Amino acid sequence: MTRRALDALVRMSCTDDLGRTRHELGEFPEAEVASLIECARAHGVEAWLAACAPAVDGPWSELSTQRGRFLAARARALTEAQAFGARLDAMGCPWAVLKGLAISQTAYPRPDLRHALDLDILIPPARFEEVVRSAVASGYGLLDVNWPLLAERMPGQLRLRSPNGTLIDLHWSALNQRRQRDHFDVSTEHLLASATALSGPALRVLAPADQLVHAALHATLAGANRLLWLVDVDRIVRTGPDWDQVVARARAASVGLPVSVTLRRARVTLGTAVSDAVLRRLAAGRAWPGLQRVVDSRGVLAPDPSRPAVAPAFARSSQRDARTSLVAFLRHGLSWVRSGAPRSRPAASWLDPGSDTSALHPVADASARAVVEHVYTDVDPVLWDAAELSVRAQLAYLGRDGGH
């Protein structure tokens, strides 16, 4: 993977002119095409590259094969999302599709330019057990089955495999890790109450402001150092979100500061149209943005985003305010000093069914399973109905400042 390859992918992601991209790729040195494909795969934009590949043979033949797989996977995911959504509607259960499939439908110039490995669906915590057991009884395979480990970690989702082979991340929270839910105030109930139905495919997705906040937050907590995450945010911004609502929703959930991190990086990398005033309102201060300018001056995107670096560590350190963020960032720094290098990401044992530290490793425990599935949070009905109120009224109810 090379810097030249990454720069070509950035240019590709900035334009809707696929013909122009195809022409530029046709002039890309054949000897470097393999590096370009590898870089696109590492940064999550291989589907876009495959759609613009200038040939179906030679060094581009790998992308030609992948293109068919991407289209088939997308068709299965879309069919499953509609079928699972119809199931939830029949149960009277609120729902919304999150992340990849939803963003591709609402923000990308063509939905097939954005590939997602799985289908993310959000439902209320109080309905989680009922929906999981109904799905399993209907032939869906439950993949996460290490119940003592799951009860200890309490992820915000369980993974299912649908009868058509689609992987489903069934969420009761938009935040998967317990520590993230402790830091931030992201309300599943609010997200679902303001979700909207698409006029094309029968899908429910987050409201535009919520979708941008969630995409930016997810990117920051993951390191904000993959091109796909920045492109997602850039493409949502191009749809013209109401910035007052974006700021209000982010600050009500105490995620304004981390949301500002990814938006700044998208602006620097892709020219995303977000103003200094919006970034200041989100960050609610100058300390963290100032430190970000120093960190990001060394570069945000690298050809290989999996390599340990300061930029992703900085992003993942972002908390609800600058002081706690700085403490988290210093903690990263101390670990680097002790080890002599930035820490690499944890080993992938979580995804290895043969490891007893994996959620996929079967460990039967009825009481632990009950704890994991029976997730219930008391919901103030006034807060649930707040989606029908103006943003300012919501913030007044929550006792927060709208940032004006």
Number of domains, the chain: 1
Is residue 404 domain-resident? no
What is the structure's pLDDT at 286?
85
The 141-142 sheet, strands edge to edge: 141-142, 157-161, 167-171, 119-122, 96-98, 204-205, 196-197
Residue 19: how many other CB atoms lie within 10 Å: 9
What is the structure's pLDDT at 402?
36
Distance CA 98, CA 238 (A): 18
What is the structure's pLDDT at 202?
83
**Nearest Cα residue to 312 out of 221, 181, 232, 229:** 221
Is residue 71 domain-resident? yes
Is residue 403 domain-resident? no
Structure tokens at 84: 């699972």
Distance CA 158, CA 179 (A): 17
Give the contacts of 400 (CB within 8 A, at least 6 positions apart).
251, 252
Q: Which residues pair with 196 in a beta bridge?
A: 205
Range of the domain at 194: 3-397
* CATH code of 127's domain: 3.30.460.40
Is residue 33 domain-resident? yes
- Cβ-contact 79, 164 below 8 angstroms: yes
What is the structure's pLDDT at 383?
36
Distance CA 279, CA 293 (A): 13
329 HSE (CA, 13 A, CB side): 21
Is residue 274 domain-resident? yes
Is residue 174 domain-resident? yes
> What DSSP line would sit under 209-258, residue for residue?
HHHHHHHHHHHHHHTS-SHHHHHHHHHHHHT---HHHHHHHHHHTT-HHH
What is the structure's pLDDT at 377?
58
pTM value?
0.86
Phi, psi of 142 (to 5 degrees): -90, 115
- pLDDT (tens, 9 = 90+) of the chain, 404 residues, equals 789 999 999 999 999 999 999 999 988 999 999 999 999 999 999 999 999 998 878 889 889 889 999 999 999 999 999 999 999 999 999 999 999 999 999 999 999 999 988 999 999 999 999 999 999 999 999 998 888 988 888 999 999 999 988 999 999 999 999 889 989 999 999 999 999 998 777 899 999 999 999 999 999 999 999 999 999 999 999 999 999 999 999 999 999 999 999 999 999 999 999 999 999 999 988 888 999 999 999 889 999 998 888 899 999 999 989 899 989 888 876 665 455 555 445 555 666 777 877 887 878 888 888 888 888 754 443 333 333 333 333 333 334 333 33
Is residue 370 domain-resident? yes
Distance CA 250, CA 260 (A): 9
Is residue 216 domain-resident? yes
Greatest extent of the chain over all pairs of C-alpha atoms, in Å: 62
Q: Which residues pair with 197 in a beta bridge?
A: 204
For residue 146, give the DSSP letter.
B
What is the structure's pLDDT at 350?
60
Give the contacts of 101 (CB within 8 A, at least 6 positions apart).
74, 77, 78, 81, 116, 119, 120, 203
For residue 350, give the DSSP letter.
G
φ/ψ bin of 168: left (φ > 0), alpha (ψ from -120 to 50), beta (otherwise)? beta
Residue 41: how many other CB atoms lie within 10 Å: 15
From residue 358, give the alpha-carbon distance in Å to each of 60, 349, 352, 353.
37, 6, 6, 6
> What DSSP line would sit under 154-173, residue for residue?
--SEEEEE-TTS-EEEEESS
